[in-house]
Amino acid sequence: MAVRRQLADHGWCDLIVGIIQVIEAADGVVDSVQERARDIITRAVMSSSMQGHRDQVTGRIMALVVDRVWSALFEALKNAVPPLSLLTNEDLLRALRILAVFICPAPGLHSEVLTHALRPLGEDARGYLTDQTKEYLGEVFVEWRVGDSHQGRSPGDRTS
C-alpha cells in the first residue's frame, strides 16, 4: 500500500519524463549516427578506384545523392523495425509530454515535468499552446516562462 502511495506522489510522471528523456537522447544519437553514416558512405564513394572515371561527380554532389538514398533507406528501416520509429517519433514525444503534464499531481512543483514536458510544448513551433494558455501558465507556475512576453513579470501582473 505504501508503494502505491509513493508512486502516486510523482512516481508515474517521473517515469513518463524518464521515457521522454530517453527519446530525446536517442534522437540525438540517431541523428549523430545518421550523419556519420552519410559521411562514411560519401567518403567511400569518393575514394573508390572508379572515382577517376567520374570527374563531374564532386564530393558535394555525392553528399546530396547519399543524403537522398540514406533518407529513403532509413525510412524503410524504421518501417521494418518499429521500435526504431519510436526513437524518432515527434508525435509520440508530444503525446508523452502532454500525458506527463496531465498525470502529474503538481506540475508547478515538479521541475522535471516543467523542463521536459511543459516548456517544450510551449516552445514548439507548431503553436500547440495558445498565447492565452501561455499567459495563464505564467500566472499559475512561477517557473513557467516562454519568450520575452513573460520575462521579468510576477505571476499576478496583467500588463499588455
What is the mean pLDDT for each group of 10 consecutive residues in the chain (160 residues)? 76 88 82 89 91 90 93 83 71 86 85 87 70 68 48 37
Beta strands in the chain (DSSP E): none
Q: What is the pLDDT of residue 154?
A: 36
Distance, in Å, from the CA atom of 5 to the CA atom of 145, rounded to the nearest integer, reads 31
Domain map of the chain by residue range? 2-86, 90-150
Q: Work out the number of other CB atoms within 10 angstroms of the CB of residue 13.
A: 22
Q: What is the pLDDT of residue 10?
A: 81
Distance, in Å, from the CA atom of 6 to the CA atom of 108, rounded to the nearest integer, reads 19
Q: What is the pLDDT of residue 150?
A: 38
Q: Locate 81 and state its grid cell.
A: 523495425
Region of residue 147 (phi > 0: left; psi between -120 and 50: alpha; otherwise: beta): left
Residue carrying the nine cell digits 541523428:
31
Most distant CA pair in the chain, distance: 74
Distance, in Å, from the CA atom of 145 to the CA atom of 148, rounded to the nearest integer, reads 8
Q: What is the pLDDT of residue 3?
A: 76
8 A C-beta contact, residue 135 and residue 58:
no
Q: What is the pLDDT of residue 159?
A: 38
CA distances for 5 relative to 17, 100, 104, 111, 150, angstroms: 19, 18, 14, 20, 36
Q: Return the ∠ at Cα 7 (arms to 117 and 93), rounded to 5°.
A: 25
Residue carrying the nine cell digits 492565452:
132
8 A C-beta contact, residue 113 and residue 13:
yes
